[in-house]
Structures are given as structure tokens and as C-alpha cells.
Structure 1
Amino acid sequence: MSPDAVSPDQPFEYLFSYGTLQHPDVQLDTFGRLLDSDDDALPGYTVDYAEIHDTRVVDLSGLSVHPIVRETGNPLDKVVGRALVVTEDELDASDEYEVALYRRIAVVLASGRSAWVYVAA
């Protein structure tokens, strides 16, 4: 993966997505562009589902039920998703998109990359 769409003088980070932040419509609305990304996985977590009541998020994603991950501590558990290349400003934009059911934490992905991910609050 190369962060081609990120300016060379602008630092980038990885944001692990297992849900709607992978959707092109959500990316265009939230970040103003389609993000570069790679397949990756989040070990030690499992996927659950949460009902979303924020009409903006539901209208944009087309879904009223979104996946949400919870830590299990079991290294055999893993969540499959994508490591998105984002700037600090785009991380701020993703914070605005996510509802209060989620909080952003730092993790290490199966690839060894450090990334941010939204987990159950």
C-alpha cells in the first residue's frame, strides 16, 4: 500500500476499518476522497453489532445496524478488515462520523502496523 493520495510532506496514519468506513460513499462524504487501503486483521477482538440512531450516519451508510468490535484477549479471535491511509485531519473527520457507541484506540494489526480502530465505548 502506498499513501499516494496523501501529500508527501503530510504525515499519515493507519485507521483499521471493519465496517462502513470502507464504503466509497462514506469515504467521499467523510474524507472528500477515496482512501488507499490494504487488507489486514485485528487479533484478539470479535465483531458484535449495534443499532445506530444517528440519522445522518444511517442515511449515509444505508444501514441502521453497524458492526462494532470488542476485545476478547484471545489471540485466536480476529476481525478482518482494511488498513486505511489517513491524515490527522481525516482522523478528526472520522471521529465526527462515528457515534458515541464507539471510541478510537491505538492497536497493532496482524501485519505489525500500528493503527487506530473504533471499538465499543
Structure 2
Amino acid sequence: MPLLFSYGTLQQPEVQISTFGRLLSGQHDQLLGFSQTMVAIDDPEVVATSGKSHHPIVKHTGDMEERVAGMVFEITDAELANADQYEVSAYKRISANLASGLTAWVYVDARFTD
């Protein structure tokens, strides 16, 4: 089953219920070599689901001293597809290594990916 790392709204219970139809259980982890900022969300459905007009977003810096805290969740392929639908076009899903040694999907700033 896929692993999904969340540093933002996918950790919120109301977003999990809306996106996955259930509450996820996960473990704390960190994304290495990334920095975090905020991005304005213009999709009214996503804003209504999260209750927030600005969401966290990360970009790769390569500086392994930089860390973004979050949670890693085990989800199904169908749930991963649901997460893809929830995330707006500002985000792109990539595979990344976590501090724990796990590799997980994570949504990053689409402007800074190849």
C-alpha cells in the first residue's frame, strides 16, 4: 500500500473524512531537504473542505539541515487518487525519502519540479 506524507491540511480530520471517507492513522516523520511556505488556494471547494484560504506548500532545497515535520499515512491506491483530486494545481505529487528511512508520496510546489 502507498505511503503518503502530509505536512498540511491532509492531517485535518475534516479533510480526511471528505477526501478518504475515513480518519487516517499515521506516524510522525520529517521531510528532509525541503522548506515550507504558504500558498493561496483559489478552489472554493478545497477552501470549504479545509476551512483555510492559504495552505502550506514545500519546495526542494537540497539542504539536508532543512526539515518539514508532518505525518506519514498508509493509504490505498484509490485513496491516493482521491488525494490527487483534492490537491490543487499548485501541487505536484513526487516520491521523497523521509527522516525515518521510509519513502512516501508528498505534494510539493509544482513550480519547482522537473
Give the TM-score of the pair, scaled to structure 1. 0.90
Write 1 or 2 for the structure with the bigger share of helix: 2
Which residue matches 1:78? 67
For residues 27-74 of structure 1, the C-alpha deviation after alignment (integer angstroms, 9 at most, x for no partner) is: 001000011100000000010110000000001100000000011100
Query: Counterparts of 1:41 and 1:14 in 2: how far apart (Å)?
Result: 13
Give the TM-score of the pair, scaled to structure 2. 0.95
In structure 2, runs of 5+ residues without a counterpart are none
Which residue matches 1:105? 94
Equivalences for residues 7-46 of structure 1 within 5 A: 12-46=1-35
In structure 1, runs of 5+ residues without a counterpart are 1-11
Query: Counterparts of 2:54 and 2:82 in 1: how far apart (Å)?
Result: 21
Large movers: runs of 4+ above 4 Å: none
Higher Rg: 1
Aligned length: 110
Counting aligned pairs with the same residue, the percent is: 50
* Cα RMSD after superposing both structures: 0.5
- How far is the alpha carbon of 1:13 from its aligned partner? 1.4
Equivalences for residues 50-65 of structure 1 within 5 A: 50-65=39-54
Which residue matches 1:49? 38
Query: Counterparts of 2:35 and 2:73 in 1: how far apart (Å)?
Result: 19
